[in-house]
Amino acid sequence: MPVSCDVMSGAIIYPACRQDCDFAVLFIEVSDCLPMCGVGTIGLVTSALEAGLVTPQVPGQLSIETPTGSISATPAKVTSVKMLSVASYLHAQDVVVDVEGLGRLSADIAYGGNYYAVVEPQATWAGLDGMPTKRIVELSQSLRSALAQLPEPVHPEDSRIRGVHHGIWCDQLPTPDIDGRCAVFYGDQAIEPAVTGWAKGIVHNTIFVDDNDPLAHGLLI
């Protein structure tokens, strides 16, 4: 298990059970195993290709088996990975909870490999400006505790995937040249880039990260 810091994560490669997949993967982090990890897939595909650990059955197309199902990654080059994730959907909209230290808050619950609570600026939460990381972590923990009092979401095709363990705090864009601005919370006190939460939208299950792609440089934490 990764042990150096709270945001450390890893991936264990296994032989695939599905014939249409090149290999299987189990994503791990300091607190638990994950059904799916977007940024982990990007790192896994890059390192597996560079190290020669896998050979795609179809040249230029990797099919990977995860606990949530099959995902595909199309590496045009090692410096870029295009990824088609599992089917994602909006589970519930405008879920209202009382969050300790903040008050009444409305959030959307969406699935994109994990269940996420997506929070937009509103009367009780103005946005990320001026908020230290410690405060975001505290509010995220309180939000998750509040959501745990409600009926938990359960994946319609796999009842083992359930519960909201991740949060995405979205914000208004500070300048027109920025594509997205949000902080993603998971684990006990980890904050990661928006790519973890599928670049904020979740309903879009394809993301692309490339050195020449302005989106890669337009995500703010």
pLDDT at 96 over 70: yes
Q: Which residue has the higher pLDDT, 204 or 67?
A: 67
- The total domain count for the chain is 2
Catalytic center residues: 37
Same domain, 22 and 99: no
pLDDT at 20 over 50: yes
pLDDT (tens digit per residue) in 22-41 = 999 998 877 678 888 877 88
**Confidence tier at 83 by pLDDT (50, 70, 90):** low
pLDDT at 144 over 90: yes
Distance of alpha carbon 195 from alpha carbon 117, whole angstroms: 15
pLDDT at 213 over 90: no
Q: Report the pLDDT value the prediction gives residue 47, as an integer from 0 to 100.
A: 82
Q: Report the pLDDT value the prediction gives residue 91, as an integer from 0 to 100.
A: 92
Same domain, 36 and 137: no
Same domain, 31 and 73: yes
Q: Report the pLDDT value the prediction gives residue 163, as an integer from 0 to 100.
A: 94
Question: What's the helix, strand, coil split of the chain in %, to 5?
Answer: 15, 40, 45
Instruction: Say if pTM beats, i.e. exceeds, 0.75.
Output: no
Element (H, E) at 42: helix 38-50
Query: For residue 75, what is the domain's CATH number?
Result: 3.10.310.10
Residue 37 vs residues 41, 181, 201: alpha-carbon distances, Å:
6, 19, 15
Query: Which residues fall within 8 angstroms of residue 93, CB to CB, at 6 or more apart?
Result: 108, 109
Weakest mean pLDDT among 8-12, 56-60, 139-143: 8-12
Same domain, 106 and 73: no
Say if 69 falls within a structural domain.
yes
Say if 95 falls within a structural domain.
yes
**118 is in which domain, residue-wise?**
89-220
Q: Please compute, for residue 218, the number of CA atoms within 13 A of its CA located in the half-sphere on the CB side.
A: 18
